[in-house]
Structures are given as C-alpha cells and as structure tokens.
Structure 1
C-alpha cells in the first residue's frame, strides 16, 4: 500500500505516526513545504511572552523520528496539483525547483489552515505580521524588541493571548476587533466583560466594534492603523483575524463547505474513495447542532489524524464528534467553554434556556474559597445540555471537560443535578458546582 500525506502539523503527524505502526509494510511518503514539522502554534504567545524559553520544546516530532519508523519525509516539497481520478500528485522540490509526479493508493490530506489576510490598504507595509508558524513567532519576537506601540487585530484566542504577552513585556498594546467584545465565539458577555476589565486594569486599550480601514506607514513600515472610529499609532501590527482551510488543490474534486473546509464522514473519508482528510483543513461534526462546522483546534486535529490511520484500510473506529471545547488563561482568570453559548445558540436558531451559579468553589471554613461562575446552556423543550462556560481565579477548567462529555452523551440539565461527584473540602462542596447548576435549573 502506497500512502501519500500532504502536510505535517498536528493532524498529519498523528496520522503518520499511527499509520506507520498499523501498516508496517506500507510505503508512506510525506510532503511538507516547510523545513520543519509538528510546530505547536498554540504555544506562540507563551514563546513571545518568554514563558517558554526554548522553542524546540514546541516541536513534538521530527523527520528523523519519522525516518526511524520507515517514513520518507520530503521537506521543502510543495504539492502543486492533485489528480484524484488518476491517483497522482505533482510536486515541486523547493530546494532545486525540480517538478515531478508521484502516485498513491491512499491520500491523506492534512494541509491545515492559513491566517485570513483581508484586502486592506497598506497591508503590505513592513511590520504588519501574521501569527501562525515557527517563523512568524521568531519574526514577532525580533520585531517587538524595538517596538513601543503594538496593535493586535483580532480578539480571538491567539490575539488575546498575544496582547497579554506584549503587555507583560512592557509594550503599549491596542486590541482591535470588529465585534463589540473579545472572545465572542467562545463566551457570553458576562464572562468576556470580566476578561475585558482585566485588560483595562493592565492599561491595554480595547478598540472593539471597530473595523480596520487602512494601514498608513512611514519609510515603508506601518506607523498608524485607521479604523472607522479612530486612529492608533503603532510600530508593529499582528493580524489575528482568523483562519481559512488550505484546500484550494482539491476544489471541485471533493465536497466542501462554502469556506473550503473539507467535509469528512465519521471515518474521516472524503466524498472521494481512498482520499482521507483531518485537521484544520476539515469541517467537523459539531454535536450540539449535529451539523458540520469549521472548528480549527489542535485537539480536533490530533483525534482526526489518529482516526484517519485507523480507518485507512477499512472503517473501524467512528469519530464521536466535537463540542469545540477550549480554555484560556487571561491574567488571573481561568476560563473555559464547550458547545453553544447563549449568544451562538440564538444565531443558530436554537430555543434555549440558561442557568448560572456563582459560588465559592469549596467550603467557606477553608483558608481560601475563591468564587467561580458557571453557566450552562440547554435546549428549552428537551432540556438537553448544549454548552457551558466557567470563569474563576482558581483553576476549575476541568469542569468544562465534564460538561463536554454530558453534551456528547446528550444528557439533560436535570440529570446533571444528581451525577455522582466526590466531595473533599480541599476541592469542592458536598453539592458540586455542576450539581448546583442542575438543581438550580429544576
């Protein structure tokens, strides 16, 4: 069996490692257009902030390790064309510009995503940077050394984490987003308000509900960001607007969402026989709605990549779907969410109810007993849990992993009231926060 893999980040690495173990007689060839593989891009902000000192720790695999498994890794090789009916790919060796063809029996597409780069006047000016790969992180660190004022455009996870990192390094930071609040995809307003207050307390300027109209520069480098509501002096701009799937090579050949995300079934098969896909290039089955959605997360990627390998020869292990579970730390606050927020449920046309509990996470007779806020979203008629969010200064984010399981198993808010959780005064109360939410909903 001849397996060709295009792209080697989270999903690609998981697919390759598992395929090499499951099919020791297969010939596996990996095509990667960069000169490194398996970079943890979610660690960029930690690297920028100086929390991660050695960036090599952000790589969890290497061509040498793959070679030990009998995998041929062709670095600096860009796939130019994919011919699915004839099972051929055209490849360019970026080292010497040689172009050649290869064939495959099974094709694994793990091409990932790329930052959205809008057509804004002045976007090609110097010091307007992206944040995705290892080279971006090094460029950001180098450029930030001499920057006094930094503007981050985009208030999703990456943008928010970079803002905190820059502020920790003593920079004057402005965060711009077209939405009127940060992290709007993941948390409801009562949670994002608390995070925004933390930013303001650290003198970070929030320019929310503003659309960037153009960048202006001096001597070829950006010096000002102009929005529909204001102007911001800057030495450096980081674009964190979002991501789009890297799937242009396959357009018209397999089924995709409107944004280009590849649609795969529960066995990671595309609409074309012998072509599998995983990771940020794909849409995933989103359990709260039962629809295919684009949710580019490392957790989804490694699960999907592993499943590709297991199902490559015959369907064996189904994908269980995702809740889009994620977490973030903003200064003293630990925050996490899963599934639908009240806001996103409204956009999806779901009739929901919510319940929120704010309480000390453990008994008040303990030396400390910080407050935690937990909100659960559930369907109005069926009372099935659809989502949850938590915020606290003590780390209670694993609570959201528990609710993720509840959503996956279609549990109701009423069942949550009486689930068996342990009690120990160091950690919680006799009625766990999760129980309290269920009781409050009843």
Structure 2
C-alpha cells in the first residue's frame, strides 16, 4: 500500500505515527514545504514572551525519527499539482527547483490552514509579519528585539496571547480588531471584560471596532491606518484568523463555501481512497449537529489518528467536536466549549444561559477564590450546548467535563444530578457544575410558570 501524505504538522504527524503502528509494511511518502514537522504554533506567544527559551521544545516529532522508521520524507517540497482521479502528484524541490512526479494508492490531505491576509495597501512593508509557523516565530523574535511600538491585528486567542507577551517585554502595544470585544468568537461579554480591563491596566491600547485600511512607511512600517484612527508601529503582527489551505484539491473534492474539505465520520472525502484531516477540513460540530470549520490542534490530532485507523476499512468513527479550548492571560484562567449565547443565536438555535459567580470552597475555608461559570443550553430540548469559565484559580478542567456532556447530548437536568465528589479543599457540597445546571433548571421552571400565566 503506497500512501502519500501532503503536509506534516499535527494531523499529518498523527496519521503517519499511527500508520507506522497499524501498517508497518506500508510505503509512506510525505511532502512538506517546511524543513520541520509537528510545530506547536500555540507556543509562539510563550516563545515571544520568554516563557519558552528553547524553540526545540515546540516540536514533538522529527524528520529523522520518521526516516528511521522507513518514511520517505520530501522536506521543503511543495506539491504543485494533485490529480485525485489519476492518483498522481507533482512536487517541486524548493532547494533545487526540480519537479518530480509521484503516484499513490491512497492519499491523505493534511495541508492545514494559512493566515487570512487581506490585500491591505502597505502589507509588503518590512516588519509586517504573520504568525503561524516556526519561521514566523523566529522572525517575530528577531524583529521584536529592536522595536518599541507593536501593533497586533486580530483579537483571537493568538492575538491576545501575543499582546500579553509583548507587554511583558515592555513594548508599547496596540491591539486592533474589527469586533467590539476581544475573543468575540469564544466568549460572551462577562468573560471578555475582565481581560480587557487587565490589558488597559497594563497600558495596552485597545482599538476595537476598527478595520485596518492601510500600512504606511518608507521601507519599514511606521503607522497603521484604520477607519477610525492611526497608530504608530515599528512592528505589526497579523493574526486575524485562518483559512483552509485547499487550493490543491479545489473542484476535485466536496468542500464548504470557505474551501474546507468535507469528510465523513471516517475521514473519507467525497472521492474513494482520498482522506483528509486537520485544519484543511470541516468537522462535525456537536452543538449544532452540522459540519463547521474549527481549526484547532486537538481536532487535527484526533482526525489524523482516525485517518490511520480507517485507512483500509471504516472502523472508528469521529465523535464530533465541541471546539473546546483554554487560555491563560495574566491572572485569568479561561476556558470554553461549544456555543456562546451570541453564537447559539446566530446558528439558529433558541438558547438560554445560566450564570453563577461564587466562591468555590465552603466559607469556613481560610483561602478561597471566585469562579464565574456560564452554561448555555437549548431551550426546546434543555440540551447543554456550551459553557465558559473564568477565575484567578484554575477551573479550566471543568470545561472538559461539560465538553463530554455536550458530546453525549446531556440535558441541564442530567448535569444538575451528575455525581461529583465533595471535599472542602476542592469544592462545596453542591459542585459548581451541578450549581449552574440547577440555576438553569430554576430559570426554566420560572419560564414555564410565566408561560402558563400568559396562556
């Protein structure tokens, strides 16, 4: 069995590792544009901030390791043409310029994603950089050494982490985003306001609700122009989001409107013997029961693993995702899963939410912390569809528990009565997960009574 793998970050690495275990006789050829594999881009901000001193720690697999196991690694090779029906690809050696043709029995498309780069005038100026791969990380570190004023464009997870890193490195930081709140896609307002306040206290300038229209400078960027103002900049980091990198297979496979490849539960595409995984794909989103584009390393690793297990015959289905993620900014420990209230409404679901803000230990304990927790649920079915948490203490693992609840279509009633332990060092007799679900139940009882009165 001759297998071609295009791309080798998280999904590709997971697929190859598992294929080696399951089908040691298989011939695997890997085509990767970069000179490395398995780079954890989520660690870039930690690298920039000096928390991680050795970038080698941001890799968990190596080219040498794969080659020792018999994998043919075509590093710094760009696949320029992929003919799905003919089972043939052409790859260009970026070092020599030579193009070679390769055939396959099965192909795994793990081409990942690429930063969204709008055609902004001045985008080609020096010190306007992207934030995605290892080379980007090195460039950001190198350029940041000699600059004072940094503008970060994009207030998603990567953007806000970079803002913290630059601020702690004593840079003058401006954060620009077209939305009125940071982390708008992941958190509701109760959970973004504390982080915004911390940024302001640290001297970060938040230029929210603004769209970048131009970069200005002679050869190197000096100023960022938006529709509402202008901001001095020695360095601009663009991180406004990602798009699936699927141009190679355009019009050959079924995709979403944004180009994300549609796969079934077994990671098979619309064409036989063609599999896909990771950031180039759509994935079943359990809160809405629809395919969605959710580029996360955790999703990529799971999907890559499943490709290997289903390569010969469909045996292990994907359970879907909740888009569960976590974040630490200054003293704030944050995590979310599933839908926010605003995202639930935008998706067409009718949702309600319950919110608690309480100490997590009994009052007799000498030390305590406040936990803020919100549960989002579907009004019609009472099905749990989302949750968010923020605290100075680390309660992020609670969101993993709610992720399981969403995956299993649990209702607020079932969550309210789930058996969680009690020990004063860790929680109250009524666990905060039970408590927020009980609050949701109380709200629904009140809603039903009001409905009966109106009737």
- Quote how far apart the aligned CAs of 1:306 are: 0.2
Note the alpha carbon deviations across 1:108-151, whole angstroms, 9 max, x for none. Answer: 00000110110111111110000001111111011111111100
Instruction: Determine the C-alpha separation between the residues in 1 that align with 2:284 and 2:163.
Output: 31
1:43 aligned to 2:43?
yes
Q: Kindly report which structure 2 residues correspond to 1:189-204, keeping only aligned pairs within 5 A, or say none.
A: 189-204=189-204
- Quote how far apart the aligned CAs of 1:29 are: 0.6
Tell me what 1:419 maps to.
418
What's the secondary structure of 2:45's corresponding residue?
Answer: helix
Tell me what 1:431 maps to.
430
- Quote how far apart the aligned CAs of 1:43 are: 0.3
Note the alpha carbon deviations across 1:305-356, whole angstroms, 9 max, x for none. Answer: 0000000000010000000000101100000000000010111121111100
Instruction: Determine the C-alpha separation between the residues in 2 that align with 1:205 and 1:97.
Output: 45
Instruction: Determine the C-alpha separation between the residues in 2 that align with 1:92 and 1:412.
Output: 53
1:242 aligned to 2:241?
yes
Tell me what 1:82 maps to.
82
Q: Kindly report which structure 2 residues correspond to 1:116-265, keeping only aligned pairs within 5 A, or say none.
A: 116-218=116-218, 220-265=219-264
- Quote how far apart the aligned CAs of 1:190 are: 1.0
Note the alpha carbon deviations across 1:16-40, whole angstroms, 9 max, x for none. Answer: 0000111011100101111111110
Over 3 Å off, 4+ runs: none
Note the alpha carbon deviations across 1:266-325, whole angstroms, 9 max, x for none. Answer: 000000000000000001100000111100000000000000000000001000000000
Instruction: Determine the C-alpha separation between the residues in 2 that align with 1:54 and 1:330.
Output: 21
Tell me what 2:352 maps to.
353
- Quote how far apart the aligned CAs of 1:225 are: 0.6
Tell me what 1:5 maps to.
5
Instruction: Determine the C-alpha separation between the residues in 1 that align with 2:138 and 2:19.
Output: 32
Query: What is the TM-score normalised by the length of structure 2?
Result: 0.96
Tell me what 1:101 maps to.
101
- Quote how far apart the aligned CAs of 1:414 are: 1.2
Instruction: Determine the C-alpha separation between the residues in 2 that align with 1:424 and 1:102.
Output: 61
Number of aligned pairs?
Answer: 441
Instruction: Determine the C-alpha separation between the residues in 2 that align with 1:432 and 1:201.
Output: 33
What's the secondary structure of 1:107's corresponding residue?
Answer: strand
More deviation in 64-73 or 285-294?
64-73
Q: Kindly report which structure 2 residues correspond to 1:14-53, keeping only aligned pairs within 5 A, or say none.
A: 14-53=14-53
- Quote how far apart the aligned CAs of 1:404 are: 0.3
Instruction: Determine the C-alpha separation between the residues in 1 that align with 2:169 and 2:209.
Output: 26
Which consecutive residues of structure 2, in runs of 5 or more, have no partner in the other structure? 442-455
What's the secondary structure of 1:254's corresponding residue?
Answer: coil
Instruction: Determine the C-alpha separation between the residues in 2 that align with 1:280 and 1:54.
Output: 26
Note the alpha carbon deviations across 1:374-408, whole angstroms, 9 max, x for none. Answer: 00000011100010000000000000000000000
Instruction: Determine the C-alpha separation between the residues in 2 that align with 1:150 and 1:229.
Output: 18
Query: What is the TM-score normalised by the length of structure 1?
Result: 0.99
Tell me what 1:344 maps to.
343
Q: Kindly report which structure 2 residues correspond to 1:317-328, keeping only aligned pairs within 5 A, or say none.
A: 317-328=316-327
- Quote how far apart the aligned CAs of 1:367 are: 2.1
Instruction: Determine the C-alpha separation between the residues in 1 that align with 2:95 and 2:439.
Output: 63
Instruction: Determine the C-alpha separation between the residues in 2 that align with 1:189 and 1:438.
Output: 20
What's the secondary structure of 1:382's corresponding residue?
Answer: coil
- Quote how far apart the aligned CAs of 1:96 are: 1.3
- Quote how far apart the aligned CAs of 1:250 are: 0.2
Instruction: Determine the C-alpha separation between the residues in 1 that align with 2:288 and 2:373.
Output: 22
Tell me what 2:277 maps to.
278
What's the secondary structure of 1:121's corresponding residue?
Answer: coil
Which consecutive residues of structure 1, in runs of 5 or more, have no partner in the other structure? none
- Quote how far apart the aligned CAs of 1:194 are: 1.1
Instruction: Determine the C-alpha separation between the residues in 2 that align with 1:165 and 1:115.
Output: 20
Instruction: Determine the C-alpha separation between the residues in 2 that align with 1:245 and 1:361.
Output: 41
- Quote how far apart the aligned CAs of 1:68 are: 2.1
- Quote how far apart the aligned CAs of 1:440 are: 1.2
